[in-house]
């Protein structure tokens, strides 16, 4: 076969096409990666770099479907720092922000990689413990409560701020079988603690299950 004068040789043409397709695939992969990073950022709270409430809806829906399908169980912890307003009033919002970050790190250190820690808003956090029954969730919550109570916050600013935390627990399917009911029961259990002694872990009332 005679090659036309001035036309690229077959190996050159093949190399050019290969480079073209390589660039197209590379650009597609980069765009996909950027899309995943953007989607990930949608679910991250800028302050403590924990998940935000948008992600909570996603992960709860996912865990409910998984648990219903495989007859698994999980627990939801709803928690609030006691008298946190005093920190902002005494030391200012900048220190308060740093304390929230530190508290989030303490909570995160108490759970597994498979669990989810969410900053729900203000000084409230929600934790989803996968494949964890209520009695096991109590142990995790007590560990969080003790570590928050024992920690000295604000040391980077040469402060010694002491805090406590109140935690409410609701478990699937023991206490509730829907997302909103689980959150409501965990929230109510937490407020029972805040209305009593604070610095306490409360379990949802099983009698509230429909």
Q: Which one is catalytic: 123, 160, 195, 205?
A: 123
pLDDT for residue 2: 39
Stretches in the chain below the pLDDT threshold 70: 1-41, 45-48, 207-210
Please tell me the distance from the alpha carbon of residue 42 to that of residue 20, in angstroms, as a whole number: 33
Percentage of the chain exceeding pLDDT 90 = 71
pLDDT for residue 10: 53
pTM of the predicted model as reported, rounded to 2 decimal places? 0.79
pLDDT for residue 49: 72
pLDDT for residue 45: 66
Structure token digits, residue 181: 């009911």
Residue in 82, 106, 96, 86 with CA at minimum distance from that of residue 47: 96
Instruction: Please write the tens of the pLDDT for every residue from 166-209.
Output: 999 999 999 999 999 999 999 999 999 999 999 999 999 875 44
**45 included as an active-site residue:** no
């Amino acid at each position: 076969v005679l090659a036309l004068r001035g036309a690229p040789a077959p190996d050159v043409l093949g190399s050019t096409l290969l480079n073209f397709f390589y660039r197209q695939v590379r650009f597609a992969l980069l765009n996909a990666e950027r899309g995943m990073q953007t989607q990930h950022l949608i679910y991250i709270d800028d302050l403590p770099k924990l998940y935000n409430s948008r992600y909570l809806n996603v992960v709860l829906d996912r865990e409910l479907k998984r648990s219903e399908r495989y007859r698994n169980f999980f627990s939801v912890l709803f928690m609030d720092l006691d008298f946190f307003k005093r920190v902002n009033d005494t030391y200012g919002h900048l220190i308060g922000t740093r304390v929230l970050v530190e508290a989030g790190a303490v909570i995160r250190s108490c759970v597994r990689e498979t669990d989810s820690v969410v900053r729900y808003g203000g000084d409230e956090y929600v934790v989803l413990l996968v494949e964890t029954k209520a009695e096991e969730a109590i142990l995790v919550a007590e560990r969080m409560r003790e570590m928050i109570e024992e920690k000295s916050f604000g040391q980077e600013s040469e402060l010694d701020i002491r805090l406590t935390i109140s935690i409410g627990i609701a478990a699937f399917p023991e206490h509730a079988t829907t997302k909103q009911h689980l959150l409501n029961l965990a929230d109510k259990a937490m407020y029972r603690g805040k209305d009593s002694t604070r610095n306490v872990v409360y379990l949802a009332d099983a009698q509230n299950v429909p």
